[in-house]
Amino acid sequence: MSEVHTQESVATKTIDNGPKKSLNLHPVITRLLESRGLDEEAIREFLSWDLLEMPDITSMLDTTKASERIIKAIVNGEKIGIYGDYDVDGTTSCALFHHFFEMLDTTVSLIQPSRFVEGYGLHPSSIDKAQEMGIEVLVTVDCGISNNEAAEYAKLRGLDLIITDHHKDARESMPDAYAIVNPNRRDEPEDSKLTVLAGVGVAFAICWEIKKILEAKGEKVPSLYPLLQWVAVGTVCDMANLTPLNLKLVRHGLKQMHETKYPGIRKFFTNEERLAKFVPSEKLGFNIGPLINSKGRLDHPEMALECLIAKDNDRAHECYSHLEISNRERKIITSEVFKSASEQVLQTMDGEEHLLTMVYDKEWHEGVIGIVASRLVETYKAPAIVFTDSEQEGIIKASARSAGELDLFSLLKAQEHLFIKFGGHKAAAGLSMPKENLAQLRQALTDNLKTVPSIERTVQDYYDLEILPNEINPRLLKELEMLEPFGMGNQKPLFRVKGLKLASFDILKELHVRWNFSYNDSFYKGISFNYVDKFGVKSPDDLFSASQMDEELYVYCQLGINRYRGNEYIQLMVNRIETE
């Protein structure tokens, strides 16, 4: 990655500025990282920005074969198609390829399926559509590893199919495609560090290999460094594991976003956010990602992709407006489905241990069942599977989300004989099956979960570290930003703050709570979103009464900086509050 390295001049961004100097971290940061099992060497690796320290992402099987075929298509004037999934990972992968091929003065056709027409993955009908468009080489992104029938059909029709994916290779055999680039294909090394790549990371690897091949032939190719912005969005939003490899890729992508040249990214940021020059990963996970996903959840994802590849601000603004409307509608639908699903869960609770949240309603909107499954996991601390009707009579489909360290993919794969379609990874999966199998699946999963230790299959009420209020200061907040990006495998720290008094609180929009805490002569602001309807937490009134009676409070919170109209203040993002 030497060319990307030169973009940074000195890509090592750890605060020590030298391998032998003391890290000199805030005491809370040191205790936090040590509590996560990191020694000094591991801390240095964790904080490193050095792209030269990355494993070779182009070493995946078939990467060179796929890249050479794409180059041949460019030279011969063959039409290239990019076929991407309709989620954020697939959409950013399509955008990345679009902008990469523009660098090569090559036009590619972009295809995305509809969740409600074709459904997830590559289908024989997708091959027909590609050939109707004159496409001779079709490259999938973020899908394809389980679509053996479509690959066979493509070969029969004389279409060269290149599959790039990162999902588990779970069929009896791999698809018979021209090339398969997937760090999780069965014959990749078991100890590969590339298995954590999101689909967009795999797409970037293809671009990188093409660049290397072309430059070896004496051709000039522009820097790929700006493309890391797409890698950052797709990686964080797809909840890829943030190992040092992904941390480096995402950090360099985030670094560029406040001054991005892509109109489709710039539209997601306010002027104030751009002036801040620091882009937290939460901006991706809780704002950009949901907006991109919203179109694919409710109808066709085309407008989201159009936004990301927009050539000017006017077109980006037009597309972004559609995303805002879709996202508002998506929030309303999600709230209604979650409320209905929660009612089902509460009706089935009988005092026994809650092993599995498994709910079904034919009226639920399939575009939001994944979000609802995630919220059910957060609420009821157990793995969740949310079913609704598919377009086919008698067939239901589901989104599943894991809890704790449970390998949900393996748990479900053991029942694969009940499914028509199935795919996913350790933390999330999707499936479809005959409705008549519902009871059998519930019983089998429940029986299997009983054999798994509770700590491995439930969301634990944990915290990273106990701190005192006087340890919360601007230096701590600044160094917490150095730990970014936060996400899967690098969760944003949850602190237990001891010693705060609850001075007052306000209910906002009948749902959120604004807290005002005191400690000696200092005051601290806090906020809890969706707290009023939260399951199993103490009411603000009870907490206020307890605090007035001098009961000690333990405030479980994350720390952040609230930036508003040029002002900044430390804010406690309160998860829950407990009394002694």
Same domain, 194 and 312: yes
Residue 441 belongs to a domain with what CATH number?
3.10.310.30
Same domain, 478 and 408: no
User: What pLDDT score does 18 carry?
Assistant: 42
- For residue 15, pLDDT over 50 is answered with no
Beta bridge partners of 388: 397
Regarding beta strands 522-528 and 512-519, do their DSSP bridges make them parallel or antiparallel, or are they unpaired?
A: antiparallel
DSSP assignments along 200-213, one per residue? HHHHHHHHHHHHHH
Omega prior to 485 cis, within 30 of 0: yes
Same domain, 451 and 481: no
Model-level pTM? 0.87
Average pLDDT of the chain?
Answer: 92
Same domain, 307 and 396: no
User: What pLDDT score does 4 carry?
Assistant: 56
Give the integer Cα–Cα distance in Å for 444 and 330. Answer: 33
pLDDT tens readout for residues 298-319 = 888 899 999 999 999 999 999 9
Same domain, 109 and 220: yes
User: What pLDDT score does 7 carry?
Assistant: 47
The last residue of one of the domains, among 433, 457, 481, is 457
The last residue of one of the domains, among 457, 482, 511, is 457
User: What pLDDT score does 16 carry?
Assistant: 40
Does any domain span residue 296?
Answer: yes
**Cα→Cα distances 576→218, 504, 513, 532, 555, Å:** 60, 16, 11, 11, 6
The backbone region for 553, taken as left when phi is positive above 0, alpha when psi lies in -120 to 50, beta otherwise, is beta
User: What pLDDT score does 351 carry?
Assistant: 80
Mean pLDDT of 531-544: 90
Does any domain span residue 169?
Answer: no
- For residue 20, pLDDT over 50 is answered with no
Same domain, 431 and 497: no
The last residue of one of the domains, among 457, 491, 519, is 457
Higher pLDDT, 145 or 530: 145
User: What pLDDT score does 120 carry?
Assistant: 80
Q: Which long-range contacts does 117-121 make (Cβ < 8 Å, 24+ apart)?
A: 119/421, 120/85, 120/86, 120/421, 120/423, 120/430, 121/85, 121/146, 121/147, 121/150, 121/421, 121/423
Does any domain span residue 561?
Answer: yes
Residue 271 belongs to a domain with what CATH number?
3.90.1640.30
Does any domain span residue 26?
Answer: no
Higher pLDDT, 50 or 275: 50
Which structural domain range is residue 355 located in? 349-457
Residue 538 belongs to a domain with what CATH number?
2.40.50.460
- For residue 566, pLDDT over 80 is answered with no
Mean pLDDT of 120-139: 95
Identify the band that residue 6 occupies on the pLDDT scale cut at 50, 70 and 90.
very low
Identity (one letter) of the amino acid at 294? Answer: S
Same domain, 430 and 529: no
C-alpha count within 13 angstroms, C-beta hemisphere, residue 416: 14
Say how far residue 183 (Cα) sits from the centre of its chain: 18
User: What pLDDT score does 350 carry?
Assistant: 82
Enumerate residues 6+ apart whose C-beta is below 8 A from 165: 140, 141, 142, 143, 144, 145, 180, 181, 182, 184, 199, 202
Mean pLDDT of 86-104: 96
- For residue 296, pLDDT over 90 is answered with no
Does any domain span residue 469?
Answer: yes
Does any domain span residue 372?
Answer: yes
Identify the band that residue 419 occupies on the pLDDT scale cut at 50, 70 and 90.
very high
Same domain, 474 and 451: no
Enumerate residues 6+ apart whose C-beta is below 8 A from 122: 83, 140, 143, 144, 147, 150, 151, 163
Mean pLDDT of 217-239: 97
User: What pLDDT score does 73 carry?
Assistant: 98
Same domain, 469 and 448: no
Same domain, 441 and 475: no
DSSP assignments along 335-366, one per residue? HHHHHHHHHHHHHH--SS----EEEE-TTS-G
Same domain, 204 and 88: yes
- For residue 295, pLDDT over 90 is answered with no
Does any domain span residue 498?
Answer: yes
Mean pLDDT of 86-97: 96
Give the integer Cα–Cα distance in Å for 221 and 103. Answer: 7
Same domain, 447 and 474: no
- For residue 10, pLDDT over 60 is answered with no
* Tokens representing residue 15 in the block: 């605060």
User: What pLDDT score does 14 carry?
Assistant: 35
User: What pLDDT score does 1 carry?
Assistant: 57
Run of H or E including 27: helix 27-35
What total number of domains does the chain contain?
3
Does any domain span residue 28?
Answer: no
Closest CA to 342 of 493, 125, 530, 157: 530
